[in-house]
Amino acid sequence: MDEKYSLKQKHDPSGAYVANILVIALIFFSVYAFINRNVLSPFVSMVIIYIMMYFIFISLTTYFKSKRQYSGPMSLIDEMSSEEFVAWLKVFFEHNGFVVKQTQKDPKFGVSLIMVKKTEYKRVHPETYIVQARRYTSDVDVDGVKKALAAQRFYETDRCIICTNQYYTEDAYALARQKGVVLMNRDHVYKIKMQEVA
């Protein structure tokens, strides 16, 4: 699977860097003006202090905003309904070169998405995938991997992916490695969500 992990362009942080540089410059200038008190009038000093406080406020706002962005993504995922989680994954895979079809509710196999990997070569058979989205409150066990393998055989796809907001048991990892099942755990989902909000 081609893992680009990019749903949106990243914001340009240059504004925050410029603000920090200006704050440092103003601090040095204020110290110089304090030492040489005859250089500046009280009015000009007040203007400089105001500008310095403004840029400090902007810098602190930018910092705390970035902290909120980096602490919140998984809570957003955990609060999603199963349908919202599937829809979010659909957007992710579409932005990473897949043609994606969201299935109707599949109580037998639990398949959420059926995908075809786009290819530039017309004579090459494009890889097909099924995706099982597992928005759980506990780890996915080996039965989840067995169910994915059964779904892969039923839908006759080349590969299968399980994506969860949690982790997998050791038995699940062992069977997935043996059978070639792609496991996307909480860390992968976090990485995707971070790229989306960054």
Residue 117 maps to a domain: yes
Q: Over the stretch 37-72, which tens digit does the pLDDT of each residue have?
A: 655 566 666 666 677 777 777 766 665 554 444 345
CATH code of the domain in which 148 resides: 3.40.1350.10
Predicted pLDDT at 180: 94
For the sheet with 128-134, list strands across it: 98-102, 113-117, 128-134, 159-164, 182-184
pLDDT tens column, 24-40: 766 666 666 666 665 55
* Residue 147 and residue 182 share a domain: yes
pLDDT-based confidence at 21, cuts 50/70/90?
Answer: low
Same domain membership, residue 47 and residue 121: no
Answer for the pair 111, 131: CB distance below 8 angstroms, yes or no.
Answer: yes
Q: Is 6 domain-assigned?
A: no
Q: Is residue 153 part of a domain?
A: yes
Backbone angles phi, psi at 25, to 5 degrees: -65, -40
Q: Which domain holds residue 130?
A: 75-197
Domain assignment of residue 91, yes or no? yes
Distance CA 122, CA 65 (A): 46
Its pTM stands at 0.60
Q: Return d(Cα 192, Cα 84) in angstroms, integer.
A: 15
Q: Euclidean distance between the first and final Cα of the chain, in Å? A: 23
Domain total in the chain: 2
Asked if residue 59 is part of any domain, the answer here is yes
**What is the reported pLDDT for 43?**
63
